Amino acid sequence: MGGLFGVVAEENCVQTLFYGTDYHSHLGTENGGMAVLGNKGFYNAIHNISQAQFKSRFVDGYKKMEGFAGIGAIDDESPQPLIIRSKFGVYAVAATGLISNKESLTAELLNGGASFGEMAGGGVNNIEIVTRLINRADNIVEGIASMRGVIEGSICALVLTAEGLYAARDKLGRFPLALGRKKDHSIKAYVVATEASSFENLGYELVRFLGPGEIVLITPDGVKQLKPEGSAKKICSFLWIYTGYPSSSYDGIGVEIARERCGRFLARRDNIAADFVAGIPDSGVGHAIGYAMESGIPFRRPLVKYTPGYGRSYTPPSQDIRDLVATMKLSAVRDVISGNRMIICDDSIVRGTQLKNYTVKKLWDNGAREIHVRPACPPLMFPCIYASSTRTNAELACRKAIRAIAGGSVDNVEEYLETDSPAYGKMIEWIRKDLNVTSLKYLAIDDMIAAIGLPAEQLCLHCWRGRQ
């Protein structure tokens, strides 16, 4: 989905920008970048991070940068931040999310006389579209507001100007933006970020979360609201289930605590006799700890991740790389597995291939007696349409099951969404057999909503319902 980090200070802030942006590395694997504004004007650096982590690509370069304000981004789709010369002066811009009407907007802008640089590999950089739309208005704030108005999908943006840093959360607050302030109040400095967890180690404290649609101007002297928050909110539920970092929080609700609550709900609906509970490292661990706390069944680690060498395997866009990483990064602990009945909590099942071919196979190969899989969200039925996603409808495990059960593709999947329907039961049984596990039981949607702790109408549930 991508992540943003921005900082404004009365002193050189490049180190804060470097580490703050790096703390968003779990949100993308393709592009990383930073732009700073200092006494010599704007300067940016952008690297492809698909083969080397953000830190190693920028660690030498950032020490040569200097500036009192900066923005950084991790994004799978568009290299950024870009520096733009416009009628408003020079500014730097970074934005994450998804422009689902990109083709029609590009055509409209081209017909209006705009031109775009060509990205490596073809296509138009989303940030160029964002800036062309901002520049159509009379000022930057109205430009951001009107840009968000015509974009279908969802965009959060940071715009760094000589006046300060404009931060804008997407219209429905689908993705978060948190404001932080230097803990030492004698130093004038503010930060804004997708992940509030990036603040603590940098010496900043959380002030608040921007509301849906809110736009603020951040300077070393403070934060000024320029557009108030809207009344409607649809924050991404998947942040708490998988995407977000365990130490982070969104709109005041902590990720790890929500995951523990998911696990507790899974345990309350279960009656399995097992020797231990485990989480798929790392994103299933919080859910598994909650399950263990609720059930009293001990938490153990049958699989450990070789953390020095491997990152996540969900975000790489190529299936080949995902599969290779999945194979290599998990080591089985035979002494824990052999002869035991285990409950395995996973955040979710997307395609099911990694779970089946690597996790479950490793557990059986090492002598597991029973394997009970408990995903911490309902079956994923739809790809995300608000952020770049590696999921497609056809490859989702549920869709494969439905196609197999129905003997062909099925457009209307309503009957498969209800947990007490026969169709749902058949779908789960097909997936269980395909995964080759002893039992399979997903978290129910009402339990997931309760575990997150926000009213259902404030949550995006599109992944599971196909509607908001």
Contacting residues toward ligand SF4, per CB under 6 A: 174, 236-238, 384-387, 460, 462-463
CB of 251 to ligand SF4, least distance (A): 14
Cβ nearer to ligand SF4, comparing 97 with 281: 97
Cβ nearer to ligand SF4, comparing 248 with 340: 248
Q: Are 148 and 168 in contact (CB under 8 A)?
A: yes
CB of 154 to ligand SF4, least distance (A): 7
110 DSSP assignment: H
CB of 300 to ligand SF4, least distance (A): 30
Q: What is the C-alpha to C-alpha distance for residues 143 and 135, in angstroms, rounded to an integer?
A: 6
First to last CA, the chain: 18
Cβ nearer to ligand SF4, comparing 193 with 384: 384
CB of 236 to ligand SF4, least distance (A): 3
Query: Side chain identity at 197, as an amino acid letter?
Result: S
Q: What is the C-alpha to C-alpha distance for residues 196 and 126, in angstroms, rounded to an integer?
A: 25
Q: Are 391 and 383 in contact (CB under 8 A)?
A: yes
Beta bridge partners of 116: none
CB of 389 to ligand SF4, least distance (A): 7
Three-state secondary-structure class, residue 15:
helix
Cβ nearer to ligand SF4, comparing 280 with 384: 384
Tokens 């934005």 locate to 95
Cβ nearer to ligand SF4, comparing 65 with 95: 95
Q: Are 255 and 248 in contact (CB under 8 A)?
A: yes
Tell which residue, 194, 184, 289, has the closest CA to residue 248.
194
CB of 243 to ligand SF4, least distance (A): 7
Cβ nearer to ligand SF4, comparing 355 with 387: 387
Q: What is the C-alpha to C-alpha distance for residues 311 and 136, in angstroms, rounded to an integer?
A: 40
Q: What is the C-alpha to C-alpha distance for residues 205 and 249, in angstroms, rounded to an integer?
A: 13
